[in-house]
Amino acid sequence: MQPQEKVLPHSPQYPEVVFAKNQPEYIPLPIAKVAYDGGVTGLISRYRLTFWERLRVLFTGALWIEQLSAGGLQPQRPTVFEPLTDADQRYSDREEKWLAAQRAEVA
């Protein structure tokens, strides 16, 4: 799995920066910076899976996200839809309905 440039190809208004650009011990990571309501900044990256990784996801349905941190977990939202597009909004709407149903079952 490799990071891809043009993180948000359908939303070019968001600036891209490259983390670890001149640090040979790391893989450079293109990031799109998105400002959301409430002063929240989203850092979005995109990855390309190899043929074998695609097969593994197809058959197992599993994808892991590992985040190295000096403490505290950062909020993440893995998705197969490009963020900030209509498809992503439809996914978010379904996700909200599902979460609301889960909360109602617990209450």
Q: Contact 6/47 with Cβ under 8 angstroms?
A: no
What is the pTM for the complete model shown?
Answer: 0.64
- With a pLDDT cut of 70, the percent of the chain lying above it is 84
Angstrom distances, CA of residue 50 to CA of 66, 91, 95: 18, 25, 28
> pLDDT, tens digit, for every residue of 56-97?
889 988 887 777 666 665 667 777 777 777 766 766 676 677
- The pair of structure tokens assigned to 73 is 């977990």
Q: How many residues does the chain have?
A: 107
Angstrom distances, CA of residue 46 to CA of 8, 9, 107: 8, 10, 37
Cβ atoms within 10 Å, residue 32: 22
Q: What is the pLDDT of residue 15?
A: 86
Where are the strands (E) in the chain, listed by range?
2-3, 16-19, 29-35, 41-44, 47-48
